[in-house]
Chain A
């Protein structure tokens, strides 16, 4: 099993994703350079956090044109597992792989803090190892994480259980106080209709060892591994 972590110019969470997959999880992991079109046979593609191209235009808006993104989109469309953290989520949206928009945080400031996430759908490649009823503690670090979409599209996401993570309090209660950026319905992470692409603003890749304040984020990685090990073999 192989993880591929894309490096755009301005990515700065690529290293965290790489070390989480390679050293904490112990899986083969490679960096994928944005100018290359090859995914080097990776089974999971991670679009990391950071400020691709400085995010001087709109977060993620330029990264989607990188040569590697054509391959990532094709991989996703063929059912490959793709996960985007923070800036990676923004790139997935700009690429059209996930619906909606991530606006400026409602308080108009960058915000870093540990938050709790309630898992709304445990039957996904990204959440199957997260115990029912457990909130996971992970950091956020973003200025543009305020999830928005038209009401009908949000209803569609909710109806199809494609809202995967929601900001909650420690006990899983969805409250205004627990919403760090103004996201609609406290949405922190969503998947595509097919369920193989996930984008989330929080950083599970930074919460993988207890010395870092939490190792709950490892559950997201464990889930992907579990899914890939147990998924039915592709029909040739």
Chain B
């Protein structure tokens, strides 16, 4: 069958503009053929090239003495945690596939991020997911929630990695375009990191794992355009996951790394063979030559174009050491997997593809690979008009004639606050026997075997905050992540991010993107948590509007001593309760305002980064000196929701509290439910007041004693007096009712 002739129309269909077309012709000195056009199309897509984001991403803080692999250098970031161990972690989006085929879209998102981790030689030890959906009132949203959660569960459970945390957030802004961000964390020895590179002229190139089919062709290009009705027809662009094969691939991969048989490995994710070949050879500063006749195929008659662009899952490219070929084949045979030599490393810097000896594509690797000479753009920005309008909030119009008990129960049952057990009970969170704190506390914590340390991990982003103020909202996301880790007994080490935004060619969207990146950078500098990489996902729009700007932060932190692991729930009758931090009259953008008054507006809470950082130091000091029984930060729903969660967080042992908050002239709604940042509710055995106050004073952190733990009710001043059984029922039984309509 003759290949289509490359015309300007065909170039446009491939998502390349006129300037890019001209640039391709200049690079090649001729018109590209159809196969080459396909290669440029995926490699210069937003998804692979980061062409509209890379300049801003380079402004993020990416330095730290504990970083072993920095942003953009490897498949994932790597952090030295002492004891000769490194943590490898990354977050990635699978939004578009999940919007059209939720089960496979989410499953392959998990599979892809796990491969990024184990191609570096690390064994995955944990997985987290940050999920954003529309309102549960919507039938299709409930279908998406069901499919996504099953997809994540079935993949991770079968693969055998504990899914230990993350978030689930609901807002109408995500109705047509859910955000499905998957994070994976791996552990390895520091001296064993494998690079995604080529090296050694003549060394063999293997394709290993599954055979190659027609699934997922142009997945990367699909991810780089807005969703539309027609996307329903693009279900075939969504790949199909096979966690069983991935589990075998994991074991075989770690075996060949352990035996030191490889120069480099890269996961075949977006743009499949093409992306691996181009990026590995560009990094290794070599060329690469493949003959596609040797690629194991699932179907007959596949063209070079299809083979190169297929995104069939559970495949990897390996650059082997010469002489090790037979051993690699044996290891993959042991695990019943394909391993085929399909090419070799060359010295000419070209990514050359042959079919039965005849060249079908020849392009310099450097012009295809991120970090090489791919296009980079600076886009126009414009502050959105809605921000000034929505930023205003007239508190005089917000009624104070509210039944506070009723408001608390409504908030506890609200989708963004209620217990997410319906979701995370579908995930295996204890396999591999390291999980010290699973889903449901401030951060997940896993002990590190053969050490006395643990790793804390969390994802966070408040989309509504970022919509109203993207810069400050992104700062809040970093701050809350670090605060959650501090409350669990750890210190934040580094972050990965998944930046979910709309169409970057819309100046208002791009303004939000630029602002969010700036805010994230500032916060990461303050907390000394450098950015180790991540993923940008643009074009998250449904026909009506863009999603909320959603810069999702994935943070890991180190708990230096296992005895420091701390949970958010009250433990003992008679413990004293303290509030760290300052409560201000801040109701803007709160869950309270949204749930009780149906408004999503106002100024989002202020955030002083140095005050926040001091708070983390304070809580860590208190934990490390053994002063406290529990720590829980105030976030969605403010103080009252935080203390209610501390009361009922241990479902088998709910325990009440009675507190008196100084009102300092604040409105009652702001006092109870305002979301002022930099606050933590702690409980401590009686008699620790002086030591606690000393620790707080050391870091200038405000502290007040507000009451005691005990009884079977939550009492806050004269405003709230609720039975824990009611609070527990509202919190624990809400989500299942909302999703299953039971």
Contact = CB atoms under 8 A, between A and B. Distances in A.
Contacts of A208: 433
Interface in A37-63: 49-51, 53-56
Interface string B246-284: 011000000000000000000000000000000000000
Interface residues of A, number: 32
A9 B432 CA distance: 17
A120 interface: no
B470 interface: no
Interface string A204-221: 011011011100000000
B430 A213 contact: yes
Contacts of B565: 211
A211 B243 CA distance: 29
Which of B425, B430, B435 is most buried by chain A, counting CB atoms within 10 A of its CB? B430
Contact of A211 (B158, B245, B429, B436): B436
A112 B436 contact: no
B614 interface: no
B667 to A, nearest CB: 41
A202 B447 CA distance: 22
Contacts of B429: 112
B3 interface: no
Contacts, number: 86
Contacts of A16: 431-433
Contacts of B447: 211
A125 to B, nearest CB: 23
* Chain A contact surface mostly: mixed
Given A110-B153, A110-B157, A111-B425, A141 B247 contact: no
B562 A211 contact: yes
Nearest to A51: B158
Contacts of A139: 430
Nearest to A13: B431
B432 A15 contact: yes
Given A9-B335, A53-B244, A54-B244, A112 B425 contact: yes
Interface string B392-406: 000000000000000
A205 B247 CA distance: 21
Given A12-B159, A51-B157, A110-B153, A206 B244 contact: no
Given A12-B247, A208-B433, A55 B158 contact: yes
A211 B433 CA distance: 9
Contact of A206 (B150, B159, B243, B431): B431
A212 B157 CA distance: 18
B425 A113 contact: yes
Contacts of A110: 150, 153-154, 157, 426-428
B242 interface: yes
A13 B150 CA distance: 20
A164 to B, nearest CB: 22
A56 B240 CA distance: 14
B425 A10 contact: no
Interface string B404-445: 000000000000000000001111111111111010000000
B445 to A, nearest CB: 10
A178 interface: no
A102 interface: no
A112 B160 CA distance: 13
A199 B58 CA distance: 55
Interface string A77-114: 00000000000000000000000000000000111110
Given A51-B158, A112-B426, A113-B425, A141 B431 contact: yes
A112 B432 contact: no
B336 interface: yes
Contact of A203 (B242, B248, B430, B438): B430
B652 interface: yes
Interface string B435-475: 11010000000010000000000000000000000000000
B158 A10 contact: yes
B436 to A, nearest CB: 5
A50 B243 CA distance: 11
Contacts of B652: 170
A53 B430 CA distance: 21
Interface in A180-236: 203, 205-206, 208-209, 211-213
Contacts of A206: 430-431, 433
A124 interface: no
A206 B447 CA distance: 14
Interface string B551-565: 000000000001001
Contact of B160 (A12, A20, A203, A209): A12
Interface in B12-34: none
14 contacts: A9-B336, A10-B244, A12-B160, A12-B247, A19-B433, A55-B158, A56-B244, A110-B427, A112-B429, A141-B428, A208-B433, A211-B447, A212-B435, A213-B435
Given A9-B336, A50-B158, 4 more contacts: A10-B158, A12-B247, A141-B428, A213-B430
